Structure 1
């Protein structure tokens, strides 16, 4: 073999090794229960956790929250808004229903956080009132649009900012949930639409780790 062929062969071997390790980590599920069952329930764990950006938003009580300090519990982040006509109320109702299906140990180790993609209308008071219709323990975050976009991009949940000059405008956004571990890093996603029957079985396996 020529030196060029040897170099190419080595590079191919390295790529194959990295790919193999990545696949192995995904399939192994990082110790979180049965990886195949997790995927079937719509839970997709990342091969490597992601650090959240260092920025501050405001919760539904008007208190500042460092998004890279969502620690101590597992968090499910949903990017939506209170004037959403369909996806948001449906998803929040499903999350309320899912919470009711979980054992107490899982509920105590889990929090649901709505991150507003419509900070123009979603004040802390508006978030608090809206989330109260579903579950008073659900949390809300709002703030400067630029910071919300930075967070959304960092966790790969992009949205399209609306033209706020239009009356009754809507915001295009994803229905996926972001899974944040108790260490404050992104661990993965939960695909939309939610399958509560399967998630009720797999979420306790996820959050007990």
Structure 2
């Protein structure tokens, strides 16, 4: 059983732990950070990144963000998007991932931030309403977007990104949702460009994304 108070406590502890870990991570990957700016596909794999040989164009879709604004294909064109599928009642994997994304995004230069948006897509539309998503994401970074929609809309978008998820014992108050932990990367043309595999490391995410962007 996972209650809201426990989830909130976990989030606070995870955010603090990730902030501390990030400092050590930056130091530990120092040799990599001073390496070549452009990484080949084998080097990218060392950073947990996989780039598709042929980026896959996304079909039109329609979801809604935490502010009630429509989020569709046009919203992913013109900038890079890191997309994570999760849910606000997740006890550990989701808050850990979002905390690392917050550290990664927060360390970027303003000009880099202008080229990247971080998006969390709920896999639990029954409980994750817009208000819930807004409150949850505010604990990490207020600029992050949280998307929701009908089950059919969410499933359709997830399939385009090759993300699978399934509620466990849905109908109970404290059910969990099994879901992929990958972080999907959409390029400015609105194509699935690649993905990052967990475990995620703040410094590695940043270096890998910059390299991918430079070779786009």
TM-score, structure 1 normalization: 0.80
Cα distance, 1:169–1:78 mapped onto 2, change above 3 Å: same
Taking the aligned partners of 1:91 and 1:170, their CA distance within structure 2 comes to 17
- Are positions 1:85 and 2:54 aligned together? no
Match of residue 21 from structure 1: none
Aligned to 1:128: 134
Q: Which residue of 2 aligns with 1:159?
A: 165
Q: Say if 2:66 and 2:133, in contact at 8 Å, map to a contact too.
A: yes
- Give the alignment's Cα RMSD to 1 decimal: 1.6
Give the whole-Å Cα distance in 2 for the aligned partners of 1:199 and 1:89: 17
Show structure 1 runs of 5+ residues with no match: 1-31
Larger radius of gyration: 1
Which residue of the other structure, out of 27, 33, 38, is the alignment partner of 2:38?
Answer: 33
SS at match of 2:179: coil
Task: Select the residue among 135, 140, 144 that pairs with 2:146.
Answer: 140
Partner Cα separation in structure 2 for residue 56 and residue 91 of structure 1: 25
The answer as to 2:59 corresponding to 1:71 is no
| Correspondence 1:118 to 2:132 | no
What is the distance in 1 between the residues matched to 2:146 and 2:39?
A: 31
Please say if residues 42 and 192 of structure 1, whose CA atoms lie closer than 8 Å, have aligned partners that are also in contact: yes
List gaps (5 residues or longer) in structure 2: 1-36
Cα gap change, 1:178 to 1:68, in 2 (>3 Å): farther
Q: Is the contact made by 1:106 and 1:207 (CA closer than 8 Å) also made in structure 2?
A: no
- The CA deviation at 1:69 is 4.2
TM-score by length of 2: 0.77
